[in-house]
Amino acid sequence: MSSSTTRPAAPRPAPWRLTDWSRRERVLAGAVALLLAGALAGPSLPTPAMALADFADARPWHGLANAMDVLSSLPFALLGLWGLLRLRGLDGLRCHAPGSTLDCTWLFFVGLLLTAAGSAFYHQQPDALRLAADRAGMTVAFAGLIGLAACERVSQRAGWALAWVTLGGGLLAVGVCAETGNVLPWTLVQFGGLALVSWLAMLRPVAGAAGLRLAVVIACYATAKGFELADHAIYELSGQLVSGHTLKHLVAAAAAGPVLRMASRLRPLPLRHNPGAGAIHG
């Protein structure tokens, strides 16, 4: 068997020497350090009662409790599966997106599947333990999204590092809240992460960015939070047809749209002909 094409070796990650950090990397690191300090030194905040069970629409359907809030979690799974199938076609191929961007995209879509499972599990019978499972799934998706935002606006190495910091810190925050009831670390992960993405959205994309539309993601997330806060009001205004929490799930799932669109635009790059490569016999 012979081959006249070779794949270039994967580039080594840039070293993490402080003197080599860009201004954006320094600012990002400082912001993460402030959030970490707030989580460690801030006051303990009790979990609001509304986070546990106070949902407007508790109607069952064919024996499924809280059916609308459970079933509205399905779009997360569908979009996550769609994204993973798209990425599977690029696995092992050189494409227009750098490696950390692809890795964070994988993490995001896996997180959507876990979010769907955790959300459905929680809403079927809300309690503190199931709430932790719900938040754990969300954390994986957050980590992928925040990492993607940093890849697009700061650097590849910053994006992958931030994804891991968010994943580890988020899961730890979920555990702290479940064990002690202190919701502050989780609040900082959720809203601090949104603040970071909002700041990154205002920056110019770096060279080689894959074109993720962060403003659309932020708009979807903000709208979803608004629906969540207006859960009961929307349920009554709609004549008890749909609740704000159900709409929250649908709009939050729509935030995956820009990531899916970005992934759908990725195309494999053709392998370069290497005339100096010798034939491989076997």
Cα separation, 112 vs 139, whole angstroms = 10
Model pLDDT for residues 221-256, shown as the tens digit of each residue: 999 999 999 999 999 999 999 999 999 999 999 999
Most confident of 78-92, 132-146, 254-268: 132-146
Question: Has residue 5 got a pLDDT over 90?
Answer: no
Q: Note the pLDDT of residue 92.
A: 52
pLDDT, greater one: 169 or 18: 169
* pTM summary value: 0.85
Domains recognised in the chain with CATH numbers? 67-265 (1.20.1070)
Q: Stretch 13-19: mean pLDDT, rounded?
A: 58
DSSP symbol at 192: I
Query: What is the residue-wise DSSP string for 114-164?
Result: HHHHHHHHHHHS--HHHHHHHHHHHHHHHHHHHHHHHHHHT-HHHHHHHHH
Given a contact cutoff of 8 angstroms between Cβ atoms, the answer to whether 69 and 55 are in contact is yes
Model pLDDT for residues 190-219, shown as the tens digit of each residue: 999 999 999 999 999 998 888 999 999 999
Q: Note the pLDDT of residue 67.
A: 96
Which band of pLDDT confidence, cut at 50, 70 and 90, is reported for residue 19? Answer: low
Cα separation, 249 vs 228, whole angstroms = 9
Q: Stretch 16-34: mean pLDDT, rounded?
A: 87
